[in-house]
Structures are given as C-alpha cells and as structure tokens.
C-alpha cells in the first residue's frame, strides 16, 4: 500500500468554498449516546502514566499496549518513541512506528529504517541526504563539491540543475513520505517544505489518534509566479488574490510560495487534504476550516513534531475570543445547522475555538467523543451539539483562552531555516555548498 501569508487572506474562503464545494453533508446515524458523551480514556492513560517508571522498558510496553487497547493509537506511538530512547532495537516499538528491519551485511548488526527510507533503499539504493533528498550514498561526497547526479547526464552542477528546473514545464518533482511536490523553487527548498509537511502529517495522525497511514501521497504545487500557476492550469486569479487553495476534484494543493511565510498557507491547505482522507470527502465547514487554522498555527517543536492548540494574537485565532469577552453568546447548533457561511476572521476564529474546545476543554472530557464522531464514522456530527451543557461549556472555555502576543512561526531547526531562506533569496541550492560541513555523514 502506498501511503503516500503568513496566512491565507480572509475573503479567500468565500470564493474558495465554490472550489472546495464544502457543506454540512451528513451521512451518519445519530445516537442518544452522544448526549452523554464517551468515557474519557485520556484521563485513564494519564493516570497510568503518572505511575509509570519511564526508565523501565517493560512498564513502557505495558503503557503502549494499554493505549492500543483504548484505541489511542497516536498516544501509543508517543510511548513507543519513549521506549526507543531506552531500547533502540525494540521490535514492538519499531513496528508500531512503521519501521522495517534489515541486517547490515558487513557488521551483521540489526538496522531499522523508516518504511519510506527502506523502500527508497530497496528500490533505488538511495539514502536521505539532509539537503537534497534521496541520493545514492556514494554521491554524498559529490554533493559536498556542489554536484548532483542525474539519470541521463551523470554529475552536473547543483546551480545548473536548479536553473534547468526553474520553468514549470521542467519543474522539480519529488516524492517524500506523504507528498508528491512539484515546484520550480530550488531543490533544497522543495525538500525543506516536504520535510515540514511530512512532520505535520505525522503530528496530525497522532493528535487525532488515527491508526492507519494515508493511502496515497498528496499532490502539492508550489508556484513562484502567476505564469507558473497558469502553466499548471491553476486558478490564477484565486491564487494571486488569496495565496493558496485546495482543489478536491483534482486533489491538488495550490500554493504561492515565494518565502518561508508560505509554510503557514501550505499547512492550512494540507489540513483540508488530510480531512478528506481521514474524515469525509466533504467535511463540515466548521470542522474543515477549524482544523485548517489549527494546522496553520501549529508550532514546530525542536524534534520537528508539531504542537497544536496555540492561539496566536491573530484575527483567525482571536476575533471570536474577543467577541465572547465583549458579551457575545453563541449556540453550536447555529453553526452546525448552516451548510455554508461567508468566511471571515470571526468564523475562522469561531471554528478554531470549537475544534480546540472538543479536543482540550475540561481535561479532554469530550476528545474521545469528537474523535469517534469525526474520524471513526460512528455518529451524526450534529449530535455533538447535544452534549450536556455544551453551549455554556464552549463559551466558558473560550473566555479562558489566552492569545499569545509573541508567537514564532518559523520552523525548526533554526539553522536549516536560515539556510533555506538564503536558498530562496539566491534562487539556487548551490549557496549551501560553499562550506563542507552543511552535509553531515
């Protein structure tokens, strides 16, 4: 099975709803079960975690198994990563994280590789170069010298290679773990975006406790100019005016990408593709846009996973918060019962707060109900509004939110961010090869 700005402008969603064709299309059977909600397995697993000795591999394995029993698949993967810090060769943890085992022919030692790295090695004998993507291992020295191997001409200068792919007809095309990206930006920058999006997908899967991987890669087009977008048959007017959009009929993320600020836009659009893969082909608008804003403002951690739940001091995150604090009161039923709304900062903020409420409020009281309803096709989404005192709880939660006036959008690692900014400014990956230490052995 093949698993595969700084924000988008407000009015974009009014136009884009025609492109996406969203609506509150419900195909599920409701149940009174939702009026009282599910049990809270997160409290149960957190109580067990508090008693767990994280220096004991056996205790961690038990925590992993209990998480899986509770269908907390992302939580189980989190504990598996903790277990690997103690026992790097633990088969259960490696397999849970989709690694494949090899035996080093020279040393006879066990080697574990991520399934995509393993596939690239088995099929093409390529390993991951930290800058230029998957290359033959013997070519890493050539990369230090500013050369890259091509299938037809052997080794060529990286500067020439980027120049040859600077027109859309000859754009770079790369396959990462979860994305197929086509772009005329320099190759090092393409791989930087691919890495960022791959980590976002993994964090999304963990956060929403999704068990399986995507069934196919998400096609993504990154454009430098309107001419490139036109050549790709994108909606140039829409893209030029609003910066990015996702087209479900084509299953393509279209993004204007001239700087790293475009990462927030492409993360937002990636969320729409993920929602259609794991929730529904036509998800409810409040959910689709709420998760989109959540991913847009997700904060990369030093380990390159993403932290969800932050509320930057930005209209998409705080407009509804301000309205509530000024006395506004809303009922969820009003949001759920309307198939389309004209998007605005107020709606973005409202939808974002609703997703955050279901995932985080009251010690994750409603998180399992939300995940079961939206991701596991178990019930009518409208039944979420029947949870006891839900309107009052939602508004109280919004009143407690503390938007952050100082918020860093730049991705990690910081040194690589600086390098890719140089690459985008220079228009070539070659600027990174004036010093040998950029490529690590």
Q: How far is CA 394 from CA 360, 398, 403, in A?
A: 11, 6, 16
E strands, 25-125, are: 99-103, 110-114
Tokens 């508090």, residue?
50
438, part of any domain: no
Asked whether the whole model's pTM tops 0.85, one would answer yes
Q: Supply the pLDDT for residue 379.
A: 63
Q: CA-based diameter of the chain, in Å?
A: 70
Q: Supply the pLDDT for residue 138.
A: 81
C-alpha 294/C-alpha 302 separation (Å) is 19
Structural domain count of the chain = 1
C-alpha 47/C-alpha 50 separation (Å) is 5
Q: Which mean pLDDT values do the consecutive 10-residue runs of the chain (441 residues) have?
A: 38 38 30 58 96 97 97 98 96 96 85 94 90 87 85 90 96 97 97 96 98 96 96 93 91 94 92 96 92 94 90 91 94 82 89 96 94 84 84 95 82 85 94 57 35
Burial of 254 (0-12, 13-18, 19+ CB in 10 A): buried
Q: How many CB atoms lie within 10 A of CB 371?
A: 21
Q: Are 55 and 43 in contact (CB under 8 A)?
A: no
437, part of any domain: no
43, part of any domain: yes
275, part of any domain: yes
Question: Which residues, at least 6 apart from 428, have a Cβ–Cβ distance to it below 8 Å?
Answer: 158, 159, 162, 163, 186
C-alpha 136/C-alpha 110 separation (Å) is 21
C-alpha 436/C-alpha 121 separation (Å) is 25
403 three-class SS: coil
The token duo for 85 is 């810090």
293, part of any domain: yes
C-alpha 87/C-alpha 93 separation (Å) is 9
Q: Supply the pLDDT for residue 1.
A: 43
Q: Supply the pLDDT for residue 440.
A: 42
At 113, give phi and psi (nearest 5°). -130, 140
User: Could you read off the pLDDT of 54-70 as tens digits, one per residue?
Assistant: 999 999 999 999 999 99
C-alpha 369/C-alpha 55 separation (Å) is 33
Question: Which residues, at least 6 apart from 330, have a Cβ–Cβ distance to it below 8 Å?
Answer: 324, 350, 391, 394, 395
Pairing of the two strands 172-175 and 179-183: antiparallel
List the domain range (segments joined by +) for residue 260: 12-98+165-409
At 246, give phi and psi (nearest 5°). -115, 135
Question: How would you classify residue 337: left for phi > 0, otherwise alpha for psi between -120 and 50, otherwise beta?
Answer: alpha
170, part of any domain: yes
Q: Are 358 and 284 in contact (CB under 8 A)?
A: no
Q: Supply the pLDDT for residue 143.
A: 80
E strands, 257-335, are: 299-300, 306-307
| 142: Cα separation from own chain's centroid | 33
138, part of any domain: no
378, part of any domain: yes
Q: Supply the pLDDT for residue 414.
A: 83
Q: Supply the pLDDT for residue 21.
A: 32
């Amino acid at each position: 099975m093949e698993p595969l700005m700084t924000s988008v402008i407000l009015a974009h969603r009014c136009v884009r709803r025609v492109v996406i064709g969203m609506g509150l299309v419900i195909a599920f059977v409701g149940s009174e079960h939702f009026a009282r909600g599910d049990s809270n397995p997160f409290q149960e697993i957190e109580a067990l975690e508090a008693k767990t000795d994280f220096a004991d591999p056996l205790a961690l394995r038990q925590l992993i198994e209990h998480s899986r029993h509770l269908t907390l698949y992302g939580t189980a993967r989190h504990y598996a990563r903790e277990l690997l810090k103690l026992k790097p060769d633990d088969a259960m943890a490696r397999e849970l994280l989709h690694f494949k085992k090899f035996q080093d022919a020279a040393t006879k030692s066990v080697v574990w590789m991520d399934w995509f790295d393993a596939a690239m090695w088995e099929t093409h004998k390529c390993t991951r170069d930290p800058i230029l993507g998957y290359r033959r291992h013997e070519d890493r020295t050539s990369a230090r010298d500013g050369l890259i191997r091509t299938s037809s001409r052997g080794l060529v200068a990286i500067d020439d290679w980027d120049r040859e792919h600077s027109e859309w007809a000859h754009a770079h095309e790369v396959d990462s773990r979860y994305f197929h990206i086509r772009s005329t930006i320099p190759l090092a920058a393409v791989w930087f975006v691919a890495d960022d999006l791959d980590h976002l997908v993994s964090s999304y899967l963990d956060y929403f406790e999704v068990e399986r991987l995507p069934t196919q890669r998400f096609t993504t087009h990154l454009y430098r100019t309107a001419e490139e977008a036109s050549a790709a048959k994108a909606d140039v007017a829409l893209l030029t005016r609003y910066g990015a959009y996702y087209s479900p009929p084509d299953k393509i993320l279209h993004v204007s990408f001239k700087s790293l600020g475009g990462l927030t836009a492409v993360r937002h659009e990636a969320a729409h593709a993920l929602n259609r893969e794991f929730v529904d082909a036509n998800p409810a608008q409040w959910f689709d846009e709420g998760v989109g804003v959540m991913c847009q403002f997700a904060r990369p951690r030093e380990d390159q996973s993403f932290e969800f739940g932050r509320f930057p001091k930005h209209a998409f995150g705080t407009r509804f918060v301000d309205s509530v604090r000024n006395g506004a009161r809303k009922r969820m039923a009003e949001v759920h019962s309307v198939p389309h709304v004209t998007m605005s900062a107020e709606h973005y903020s409202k939808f974002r707060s609703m997703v955050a409420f279901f995932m985080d409020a009251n010690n994750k009281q409603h998180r399992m109900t939300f995940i079961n309803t939206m991701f596991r096709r178990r019930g009518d989404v409208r039944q979420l509004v029947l949870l006891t005192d839900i309107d009052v709880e939602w508004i109280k939660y919004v009143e407690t939110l503390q938007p952050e006036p100082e918020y860093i959008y730049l991705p990690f690692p910081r040194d690589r961010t600086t390098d890719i900014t140089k690459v985008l400014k220079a228009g070539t990956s070659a600027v990174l090869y004036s010093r040998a230490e950029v490529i690590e052995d």
